[in-house]
Amino acid sequence: RARAAQPGWDRAGGAARGQVLRRMGDALAARMDPLVALLAREGGKTFNDGVAEVREAIDFCRYYACLAEREFAEPQPLRGPVGETNRWQLGGRGVFACISPWNFPLAIFTGQIAAALAAGNAVLAKPAEQTPLIAAEAVRLFHGAGLEPDLLALLPGDGAKVGAALVSHPGIDGIAFTGGTDTAWAINRALAARPGPIVPFIAETGGLNAMFVDTTALREQVVDDVLVSAFGSAGQRCSALRMLFLPRENADATLAALAGALAELTVGDPALPETDVGPVIDAAARAALDAHVARLERDARIVARHPRTPPGGHFFAPLIAEVPRPDFLEREVFGPILHVCRYGPDDLPDFARRLAARGYGLTLGIHSRIDRFAQEVQALVPAGNVYVNRSIIGAVVGVQPFGGLGLSGTGPKAGGPHSLHRFAAERTITVNIMAQGGDPALLGLG
């Protein structure tokens, strides 16, 4: 059904597809309150995070509508030799599978679908097992915005079953995926083993995100930005701060300030407006964090841990731990745990390279009032998104296109000017106009 519906959607053109996406953006805005409530109930999102997520989903729809209208209109002329015309155009590839995570169950789910639809594709959408209700509501809103139902199907279920079946299906013309690195590797292997055309694999897979602070940074600003970067959304963002590098000269004072600020956070029910940090997503996530804490207690030093965490549920007390080396983390630890490493004046190049050697490259933070320090860190640590003197989370669609390098993703960046290109097929049309007696445009007939 998706394959039968896709050609007509592709022929409709970018302007028609943009109208549907704009109506979807309006529908999301009109449903702000119930969507925020659902995000709190099913995804454990605080109200602030919920509002930001709905806004991001709206931004994706409207931004990709603009790109569709601009880039999927009439074929664009190319310069070429006299005697022929050359034009370039973009079109849909066919049927895309969009596999989205639970940590942004509305924004990433909607963003992937909106990008694929904007480029002229039909979509089979597989949400995370933990958040099917939010995905179902988003699909209802897409259909209500005028999208033909056959162009977007919801396939909830287990990733090892439904996701694997989608990836291996010969009718799929591309995959958009956000999630864990291990799953991305499995998808990549499955696509490589599949007979037929080599299809695009658009992946975003998280990172070992670091922030480097020097002695010129303003401590109050560092504490604010570290707190929101490490513990916002219960640390369950792919962009969240995992490693904080502090200069030895003032590390003790900064750690004391961070510990005091951590104690002031409210951990609890995300449906209460005073809550700063909600639960982690499920028991498996909490168990993985508990196992990591056991390692920290053995191989590192716990600096501070939140003193008031509700009993029951999937609540996890946020904590700060000082680690002995810059490459202590081998892979992403997905939750509200901040790792801190001290460095001396001569350690920066070595520490930065050892961190970079892990192969990730998503977000990087720098706090300094010296431009040369910021430039040095940027040169040493690859990252798709670099933030100087601010938090490292909350990328805005169209303003801070989001996506990483290396183990952190394939690109193109979500919410950026090239977002739709890998969802699209390119075509060049060349016409020998001498065969028809010349260029009609030169004769005033074009």
- Residues forming the active site: 204, 238
How many CB atoms lie under 10 A from the CB of residue 131? 24
Strands 363-367 and 76-78: unpaired
**CA-CA-CA-CA dihedral for 217, 245, 263, 307, to nearest 10:** -170
How many CB atoms lie under 10 A from the CB of residue 224? 14
Report the Cα 72 to chain-centroid distance in Å.
Answer: 24
Per residue in 38-69, is it b (16+ CB within 10 Å) or e — as a string?
bbbebbbbbbebbbbbbbbbbbbbbbbbebbb
Q: In the chain, how many H helices and how many E strands?
A: 12, 17
Element (H, E) at 18: helix 2-30
Q: Which two tokens stand for residue 89?
A: 């155009």
What SS3 state is found at 74? Answer: coil
Alpha helices in 86-218 (DSSP H): 107-118, 132-144, 164-168, 181-193
Contact 280, 316 (CB under 8 A): yes
Alpha helices in 241-324 (DSSP H): 251-264, 283-299
- Residue 123 φ then ψ, to 5°: -135, 135
Q: Where does residue 158 rank: exposed (0-12), middle (13-18), buried (19+ CB within 10 A)?
A: exposed
Instruction: Tell which residue, 214, 238, 253, 242, has the closest CA to residue 377.
Output: 214
Cβ neighbours for 432, distance < 8 A, ≥ 6 positions apart: 83, 84
Q: Angle 186-121-60 (CA atoms, 0-180°, nearest 5)?
A: 85
Sign of CA dihedral 60, 65, 68, 71: negative
Q: Which amino acid is at 430?
A: T
CA distance 159 to 173: 19
